[in-house]
């Protein structure tokens, strides 16, 4: 096992707002990807009274080798969740919110109607809040994607996670080209909505493979990009092959901007929803 370098060690100070955010989420019976994915930024975000909401339960129908979200048979969709998400956002006073989900291959529409309902309730209760959705691939079904688009989120994200050459090992139940098509379809159906994606470094990818992924994303119309360090959630997950230095992250960021991405965050602790509001100038 690789030893973590100094730049990947995160130290957090106690902050009463973290507990306050936790209590609010418990009150509204809501889940966050911050907790379920064991995000290294969760303490910072909770201390700022923000969180990335995880809808459609905490059990995922896929079992990606990098992800800490539980793979298990999902529970029925909670029809009261959209209203609770909207109400929680109002209580938190968020001006920008990211909403994501587990993958629900068990549902005929992949959960797209529920996504749309959450966006609608959030708009109803928070008309000035900007909404980013981070969606699964919905099996590549256009009508499911259209359902989310018609709810008119402000940003639509779909993460590639890794390079083509590592997909079979990292995301065995996903498909590289299908994910690219989802991003491309989003642009075709709603060219005015910015498209966003993210991927990890440290899984054994080469610089040429990363460059090819960036090129594929640009050809698909992706505009916003995040690049972060893979951190193994447990010994059961894929090992970290490399801890990429901050200088190399900066170089990858320059590569992305040179390719025309209009907003890029490339740093060890970058995650797709971390400080996401900065993409829209907030």
Pick from 115, 98, 112, 105: which is nearest to 32 by CA?
98
pLDDT of res. 12: 66
Query: How, if at all, do strands 31-32 and 52-55 pair?
Result: antiparallel
Task: Please state the separation of Cα 232 from the chain's center in Å.
Answer: 17
Q: Where are the domains of the chain?
A: 6-280
d(CA 124, CA 71) in angstroms, rounded, equals 33
pLDDT in tens, the chain (282 residues): 788 888 887 776 667 788 899 999 999 999 998 887 778 787 888 888 888 999 999 999 999 989 988 999 999 999 999 999 999 999 999 999 999 999 999 999 999 999 999 999 999 999 999 999 999 999 999 999 999 999 999 999 999 999 999 999 999 999 999 999 999 999 999 999 999 999 999 999 999 999 999 999 999 999 999 999 999 888 889 999 999 999 999 999 999 999 999 999 999 999 988 889 998 987
pLDDT of res. 38: 76
**Torsion angle, CA of 164/167/169/171, rounded to 10 degrees?**
170
pLDDT of res. 15: 77
Q: How many residues does the chain have?
A: 282
pLDDT of res. 51: 86
SS3 state of residue 55: strand
Does domain 6-280 fall under CATH 3.20.20.70? My reply is yes
pTM: 0.95
């Amino acid at each position: 096992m690789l030893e973590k370098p100094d730049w990947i060690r995160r130290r957090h100070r106690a902050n009463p707002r973290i507990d306050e955010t936790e209590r609010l989420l418990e009150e509204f019976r809501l889940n966050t990807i911050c907790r379920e994915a064991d995000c290294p930024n969760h303490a910072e975000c909770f201390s700022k009274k923000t969180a990335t909401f995880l809808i459609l339960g905490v059990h995922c129908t896929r079992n990606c080798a990098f992800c800490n979200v539980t793979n298990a048979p999902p529970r029925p969709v909670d029809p009261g969740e959209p209203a609770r998400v909207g109400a929680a956002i109002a209580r938190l006073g968020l001006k920008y919110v990211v909403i994501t989900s587990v993958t629900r291959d068990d549902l005929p529409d992949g959960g797209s109607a529920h996504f749309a309902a959450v966006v609608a309730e959030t708009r109803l209760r928070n008309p000035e809040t900007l909404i980013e959705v981070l969606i699964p691939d919905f099996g590549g079904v256009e009508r499911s994607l259209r359902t989310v688009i018609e709810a008119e989120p402000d940003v639509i994200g779909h993460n590639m996670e890794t390079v083509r050459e590592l997909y079979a090992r990292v995301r065995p139940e996903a498909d590289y080209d299908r994910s690219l098509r989802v991003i491309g379809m989003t642009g075709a159906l709603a060219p005015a909505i910015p498209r966003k994606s993210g991927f990890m470094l440290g899984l054994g990818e080469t610089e040429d493979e990363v460059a090819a992924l960036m090129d594929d994303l640009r050809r698909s119309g992706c505009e916003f990009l995040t690049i972060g360090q893979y951190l193994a959630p447990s010994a059961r997950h894929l090992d970290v092959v490399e801890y990429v230095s901050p200088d190399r992250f900066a170089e990858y960021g320059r590569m992305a901007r040179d390719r025309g991405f209009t907003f890029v965050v490339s740093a060890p602790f970058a995650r797709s929803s971390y400080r996401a509001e900065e993409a829209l100038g907030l």
